[in-house]
Amino acid sequence: MRVLVVYDSVYGNTEQIARAIGGAIANDAKIFHVKEVEPSGLKGIDLLIIGAPTQGGRPTPAMQDFLKKVSEPDIRGMNVATFDTRISAKWVGIFGYAAGRIARSLKKKGGNLLLNPEPFFVEGTRGPLKEGEL
Ligand SMILES: Cc1cc2nc3c(=O)[nH]c(=O)nc-3n(C[C@H](O)[C@H](O)[C@H](O)COP(=O)(O)O)c2cc1C
């Protein structure tokens, strides 16, 4: 099974989650920072997992840019799953979260969303990840 995990991460917390997910799913899963992946080259992947930190209720600008460039014919019918990292304070919820927005973007282009967008929680802006998240 060809698995690709694409992540963005400012302080390293989302990268840790991306590596944990990729490592747990398949020995040969490819795990790449969003800047290392050509958005037009996503053909032939069985499972695409995308994750980003939540910033202002959205994925990071680099991830938003990547999602805009992902093409509909490449994504149509592809199995996809999404995750984010976020702070658990209730007030930030009014802005929304990255994982849901990533999922909506991929679904709009025909991606087959396998799971609900998955949150992982950090203690504060720079982390660390809350206990148990990894
Ligand atoms: C500019 C900025 C905006 C943020 N906005 C939110 C937000 O709207 N909601 C939230 O839950 N966390 C927010 N955070 C906290 C981030 O989600 C947190 O920094 C991130 O999960 C850490 O992941 P990383 O180490 O991979 O960058 C924000 C952080 C930054 C730096």
The confidence score (pLDDT) of residue 91 equals: 73
Q: What percent of the chain has pLDDT over 90?
A: 90
When pLDDT is averaged across residues 82-87 and rounded to a whole number, the result is 97
The confidence score (pLDDT) of residue 15 equals 98
Instruction: Look at the block and give the residue holding tokens 């998240």.
Output: 133
Lowest mean pLDDT among 40-44, 79-83, 88-92, 126-130: 88-92
Q: How far apart are alpha carbons 5 and 59 in whole angstroms?
A: 15
Domains and CATH numbers, the chain: 3-122 (3.40.50.360)
CA-based nearest residue to 97, from 65, 121, 70: 121
Average pLDDT, the chain: 95
Please give the distance, rounded to the nearest whole angstrom, from the Cα atom of residue 8 to the centre of ligand 1. Answer: 11
37, 5 in Cβ contact below 8 A? no
Q: Give distance in angstroms: CA of 51 to centre of ligand 1.
A: 13
| pLDDT reading at 92 higher than 80 | no
> pLDDT of 34-79, one tens digit each?
999 999 889 889 999 999 999 999 999 999 999 999 999 999 999 9
Q: Tell me, using a 6 A CB cutoff, whether residue 58 lines ligand 1.
A: no
pLDDT greater than 90 at residue 31:
yes
Q: Whose CA is nearest to atom 14 of ligand 1?
A: 55
Atom number in ligand 1 closest to CA 54: 17
CB of residue 20 inside a 6 A radius of ligand 1: no
Of all protein residues, the one whose alpha carbon is nearest to atom 2 of ligand 1 is 55
Give the model's confidence band at 89: pLDDT under 50 very low, under 70 low, under 90 confident, else very high.
confident
Task: State pTM to two decimals.
Answer: 0.97
Whether 62 is in the pocket of ligand 1, judged by its Cβ within 6 Å, is: no
pLDDT at 93 over 90: no
Query: In whole angstroms, what is the distance from residue 131 CA to residue 107 CA?
Result: 31
